[in-house]
């Protein structure tokens, strides 16, 4: 049990209990070095193993690691001891959206703002191949500025989870918010199922009650399967039309997110910046607009130092990399080198030139390699960070931050990895970890 005032991993001072469930507790905490407020979710490892929760924990970590967006709760890091697993997350102090709805229905203008932010976050998740599968007001938090934050990726799935038919087959979610095709157990498209849940959330926000409700669970499932619901009289005509298109029981004719964004109700009272928030603003937050590789001077890149804790956190016992499937390791590759940092930086720039990639420098010293053209899932972006472990030892971490995973994987395996072999040891994925 964590005690108030105790210090976790010499980094976080534990504060008050924020909430708890059957297998986890969430505490307010403060980073001792930076003073940053965080929320720390603690999970009892032995109990999680006994009840088979490890797969769910892996999904939650995978989903949150991939989804970096202003309207998604950020996962800062994952740590573990012999008995506990710790999720260090963004602290969102406004509480659940559910608490607002519990007091009564919301005006359409207010509900529209939350719905726009929800759609922006979900669209971004889908672009990364992440499907939430449990969207409901209880899993939507509000920050101090009343901005929505999607949380709880415990039931999420990623694109690689689909079977040969390209569909998901696990029946999960909260009954009143789950799509009819999920109930049918015949396989479903994760994107379409999430869109349905967003529609139920929208209905609840403006109506103040669920569209599909019955004390008899089977009768409620029948109503969901048939799309039997009625919009209340205070819904505007535009909202009624949009709601019916979202809560279409046929996934093949259900409205897409792109069409939702084009609808008159969704666009009302907003500007283009808000409508593009899921893509343009996120991209702007991670890119520095230098025009060519010549703009990045090797001596302008500040290296990060790794202390003993940072080195330990790369090991399987503390960052839970042993819980990730192989694909997670492939998304992040680490190399060690005894060459000077200048040689490494010049090598990265040389690789970028040969691959026709731009090199930019982020404010925190990370080099970003960026493609010139849009791929299947946007422009491919790769972060390269060089850590100074000691005077003659550096760690090179390469991480995909945008674009298509298969395109990144091909580039890493066929071009980047062979080019780094002359200055670096094999990647962390191929050899025992530090």
Between 109-118, 161-170, 288-297, 377-386, the lowest mean confidence (pLDDT) is in 288-297
Residue, of 68 and 198, whose pLDDT is higher: 198
Q: Which residues are known binding-site members? A: 50
Answer yes or no: is pLDDT of 366 > 90: no
Confidence of residue 342 (pLDDT cuts 50, 70, 90): confident
**197, 203 in Cβ contact below 8 A?**
no
- pLDDT band at 41; cut points 50, 70, 90: very high
Q: Among 134, 248, 319, 404, which one carries the catalytic annotation?
A: 134
Domain with CATH 3.30.200.20 in the chain: 7-90
| Spatial contact of 269 and 109, defined as CB atoms under 8 Å apart | yes
pLDDT at position 172 over 80: no
Inter-CA distances, 290 with 287, 363, 380, 382, Å? 9, 12, 16, 15
Q: Where in the chain is the domain with CATH 1.10.510.10?
A: 97-283
Query: Is residue 371 within 8 Å of 353, Cβ to Cβ?
Result: no
Give the confidence band of 330 by pLDDT, cuts at 50, 70, 90: low
**pLDDT of the residue at 300:** 53
CA angle 312, 382, 122 (to 5 degrees): 90
* Mean pLDDT of all residues belonging to the chain: 80
Catalytic (active site) residue 134: yes
pLDDT of residue 165: 62
Chain region(s) in the chain for CATH 3.30.310.80: 287-420
- Using a pLDDT cut of 70, give the percent of the chain over it: 78
Q: Where are the beta strands (DSSP E) in 193-243?
A: none
Q: Does the structure show a pLDDT above 90 at 410?
A: no
- Which pLDDT does position 86 carry in this prediction? 93
Q: Say if strands 7-8 and 378-390 run parallel, antiparallel, or are unpaired.
A: unpaired
pLDDT tens sequence across 190-227: 999 999 999 999 999 999 999 998 888 889 999 999 99
Phi, psi of 430, deg, nearest 5: -100, -20
Segment 7-30 mean pLDDT: 89
Which is higher by pLDDT, 169 or 37? 37
**Cα gap 247→223, rounded to integer Å:** 11
The CATH number that domain 287-420 falls under is 3.30.310.80
Asked whether the predicted pLDDT for residue 318 surpasses 50, the reply is: no
For residues 300 and 390, what is the distance between their CA atoms, to the nearest angstrom? 20
With 50 as the cut, is the pLDDT of residue 88 above it? yes
3-state secondary structure of 112: helix
More confident residue, 349 or 307: 349
pLDDT at 287: 30
The span from the CA of 231 to the CA of 203, in Å, is 8
Closest listed residue to residue 73, CA positions, set 39, 104, 98, 105: 39
Specify the pLDDT at position 432. 34
CA distances from 128 to 67, 68, 157 (A): 7, 10, 11
CATH architecture of 7-90: 2-Layer Sandwich (3.30)
Q: What is the Cα Rg of the chain in Å?
A: 23
Binding positions for ATP are: 50
With 0-12 CB in 10 A as exposed, 13-18 as middle and 19+ as buried, what is 273? exposed
> pLDDT-derived band of residue 281, with 50, 70 and 90 as boundaries?
very low
- φ/ψ (deg, to 5) at 379: -70, 135
List, as own/partner pairs, every contact residues 75-80 make where C-beta atoms lie below 8 angstroms and the sequence separation is at least 24, other chains included: 76/38, 77/313, 77/319, 78/319, 78/320, 79/8, 79/9, 79/313, 79/318, 79/319, 79/320, 80/45, 80/317, 80/318, 80/319, 80/320
Whether residue 397 has pLDDT greater than 50: yes
- The Cα 61–Cα 75 span in angstroms is 8
The confidence score (pLDDT) of residue 206 equals 97
294-311 in b/e form (b: 16+ CB < 10 A) is: eebeeeebeeeebeeeee
**Mean per-residue pLDDT for 166-183?**
82
Tell me the pLDDT tens digit for each residue of 222-260: 999 999 999 999 999 999 999 999 999 999 999 999 999
Compute the distance between CA of residue 124 and CA of residue 71 in angstroms, rounded to an integer: 10
| CATH T-level assignment (fold) for domain 97-283 | Transferase(Phosphotransferase); domain 1 (1.10.510)
Strands 75-80 and 130-131: unpaired
CA dist., res. 301 & res. 315, Å (int): 26
Residue 187 burial (CB count, 10 A):
14
| 343: confidence class by pLDDT, cuts 50, 70, 90 | confident
CB 132 within 8 A of CB 150: yes
pLDDT of residue 282: 31
Does pLDDT of 109 surpass 50? yes
């Amino acid at each position: 049990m964590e005690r108030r005032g105790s210090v976790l991993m010499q980094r976080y001072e534990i504060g008050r209990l924020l909430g708890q469930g059957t297998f986890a507790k969430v505490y307010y905490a403060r980073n001792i070095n930076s003073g940053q407020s965080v929320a720390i979710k603690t999970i009892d490892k032995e109990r999680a193993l006994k009840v088979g929760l490890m797969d769910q924990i892996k999904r939650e970590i995978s989903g949150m690691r991939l989804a970096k967006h202003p309207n998604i709760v950020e996962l800062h890091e994952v740590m573990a001891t012999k008995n506990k697993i710790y999720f260090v997350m963004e602290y969102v102090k406004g509480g659940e959206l559910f608490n607002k709805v519990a007091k009564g229905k919301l005006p359409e203008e207010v509900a529209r703002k939350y719905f726009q932010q929800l759609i922006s976050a979900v669209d971004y998740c889908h672009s990364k191949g992440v499907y939430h599968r449990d969207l409901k007001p209880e899993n939507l938090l509000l920050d101090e500025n009343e901005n929505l934050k999607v949380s709880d990726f415990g039931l999420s799935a990623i694109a690689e989870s689909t079977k040969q038919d390209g569909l998901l087959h696990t029946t999960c979610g909260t009954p009143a918010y789950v799509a009819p095709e999920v109930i049918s157990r015949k396989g479903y498209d994760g994107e379409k199922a999430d869109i349905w849940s967003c529609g139920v959330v929208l209905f609840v926000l403006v109506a103040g009650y669920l569209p599909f409700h019955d004390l008899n669970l089977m009768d409620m499932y029948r109503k969901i399967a048939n799309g039997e619901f009625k919009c209340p009289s205070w819904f505007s005509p535009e909202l009624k039309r949009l709601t019916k298109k979202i809560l279409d029981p046929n996934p093949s004719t259900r409205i897409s997110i792109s069409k939702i964004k084009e609808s008159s109700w969704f666009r009302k009272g907003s500007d283009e910046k808000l409508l593009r928030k899921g893509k343009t603003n996120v991209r702007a937050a991670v890119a520095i607009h230098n025009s060519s590789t010549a703009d990045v001077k090797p001596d302008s890149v500040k290296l990060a130092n790794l202390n003993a804790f940072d080195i330990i956190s790369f090991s399987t016992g503390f960052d839970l990399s042993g819980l990730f499937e192989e694909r997670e390791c492939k998304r992040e590759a680490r190399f060690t080198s005894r060459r000077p940092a200048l040689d490494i930086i010049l090598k990265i720039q040389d690789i970028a030139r040969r691959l026709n990639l731009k090199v930019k420098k982020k404010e925190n010293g990370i080099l970003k390699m960026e493609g010139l053209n849009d791929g299947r899932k946007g422009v491919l972006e790769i972060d390269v960070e060089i850590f100074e472990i000691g005077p003659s030892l550096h760690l090179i971490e390469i991480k995909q931050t945008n674009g298509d995973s298969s395109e990144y994987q091909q580039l890493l395996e066929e071009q980047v990895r062979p080019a780094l072999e002359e200055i670096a040891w094999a990647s962390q994925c191929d050899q025992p970890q530090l």
